[in-house]
Amino acid sequence: MTLRVAVAGASGYAGGEILRLLLHHPEVRIGSLTAAASAGQPLGNFQPHLPQLAQRTLEATTPEVLKGHDVVFLALPHGASAALSADLDDVPLVIDCGADFRLADAEAWARHYDGEHAGTWPYGLPELPGQRELLRTARRIALPGCFPTVVTLALAPLFRAGLARPAVDVVAVTGTSGAGRTLKPHLLGSEVMGSATAYGTAGTHRHTPELRQNLAALAGGPVEVSFTPVLAPMTRGILAVCGVQVRDHATAEDVRTAYAAHTADEPFVRLLPEGRWPTTAAVLGSNAMHLQTGFDEERRRLTAVGAIDNLTKGTAGNAVQCMNIVHRFPEDTGLTTTGVAP
């Protein structure tokens, strides 16, 4: 079965990454490529690393253009997917890379995204308990944010095993591509090179309610989240350092066993050998997440460190992974756990 696939927002970073992966997917034929202000221009003006598609002309992002495809990926700014997807009823599968349908709490969405909540779609993080079964029958999928992807997967084994107290502290370092392609003065090379800065602090980052939502589902009750993202002078990648208190009865062996059991059958989440710590360079361009833990038994505190490529496992790779699940392809079709080095 060959799927005809459209990408809305093909001129952006997420759209370009989806296309890079789809070019290596044996069950996909790439259909319409759309954009907003860039419509009418060749894709090669924006994605020169995709020579196979360089001469394709970007079309306007309209329901008429996107209808007739088997799968539509929406790689659009937050708030743009809701209205568009309402006119795509005839498309069998729509996967939204934005935030429009991630949150179940309408008030949290309105507070962090300054708009009306459009509803909630099945959540596209296959590694969560029971999520693959839910995704197999889904027609609409909301991808997680890049930060919630790595933090949730880093802490899921501990919360699933009932070993964590319900409060976490996260500091996550990220590259500039997470902010998208729109020109912003604080992301200019001269502003970023040789500098690192915290932003979205004190609960203001848009991914904070999503982190609370995910961890609460794993813990079976509310979880306090302190989340501080840090912008670093690199293009892609996230390194998340997650701290949590471990319950009194848990031993270091219990913790390691929980992580080993949770990751053993996951094709894209790799628990590293003890003593080896994740790096963003090792997962560059791959759909892999590297994970490691350290346990301070005296203070009963676990540090879980995860690394992903924010554009691949954090967005586009996860999107293709979800598509594979829905269409019963092997989950790793068109995807790799092999990074690019140096």
Round to whole Å and give the CA distance between 321 and 35. Answer: 23
Instruction: Tell me the three state secondary structure of residue 52.
Output: helix
Sheet with 140-142, edge to edge strand ranges? 59-60, 28-35, 3-8, 71-74, 93-96, 140-142
- Is there a contact between 140 and 85 (Cβ–Cβ < 8 Å)? yes
Q: Which residues contact 307 (CB under 8 A, 6 or more apart)?
A: 150, 237, 238, 239, 240, 278, 279, 280, 282, 283, 289, 290, 291
- How far are the Cα atoms of 190, 315, 340 from residue 152, in angstroms, in the given order? 33, 14, 24
Give the CA distances from residue 10 to residues 43, 57, 131, 146, 209, in Å, rounded to whole numbers and listed in that order. Answer: 8, 10, 28, 19, 28
C-alpha–C-alpha distance, residues 211 and 231, integer Å: 19
268 φ/ψ angles, rounded to the nearest 5 degrees: -115, 0
Tell me which residue of 175, 105, 150, 191 sits closest to 292, measured CA to CA. Answer: 150
User: How is residue 85 written in tokens?
Assistant: 């997807």
Distance of CA 319 to the CA centre of its chain: 8
Q: Which residue is associated with the tokens 């997962």? A: 283
Side chain identity, residue 8: A
Residue with structure tokens 């197999």? Answer: 136
**242 tagged catalytic:** no
Residue 242, CA distances (Å) to 72, 150, 154, 295, 302 in order: 34, 10, 8, 12, 8
Q: Provide the annotated active-site residues.
A: 146
